[in-house]
Amino acid sequence: MLLIKSDWNNQETFKMIPIDLSCPFVECIYDPGSKVLAIVGKTTKQSFHMVRKIDDNGDIVTRKIRTEGSSPYKEERKLVETFQEYYVTNVDDIRQIVKIFGSNNATFDFEKYLIGVEAMGIPSTPAS
């Protein structure tokens, strides 16, 4: 996978994108806000999701009566094919994954996005 600079929730971060068809992942992105590496695998699964309801013309159907805090659109529960996702929270595990799968990890400074975790006093490994 190729390490590239990216943005997530208006923060600079890094992402890994596949450069070979044999790669087991669709993408990996580091969320600097929650300090999590989100990995999207190629394995698919079916799961239920709430999706906006559409009419015969393909337009989103709005609700006639709205309760406070609810969506202005009608929604329905649908079985959707989605990619398997993995979330890595341990900093040492994130480093290891990037070093194993990131083909340009020696030249791309992904560590600058992880430094904030240790600077905040969050341990990179559990205390023994």
> pLDDT tens, 48-83?
989 999 999 999 999 888 788 788 899 999 999 989
How far is Cα 56 from Cα 107, in angstroms, rounded to an integer? 52
Q: Is the dihedral of CA 28, 31, 37, 40 positive or negative?
A: negative
| Residue that the structure tokens 């993995």 belong to | 86
Whole-structure pTM over 0.85, yes or no?
Answer: no
What residues does each domain of the chain span? 2-43+82-119
> pLDDT tens, 20-53?
999 999 999 999 989 999 999 999 999 898 999 9
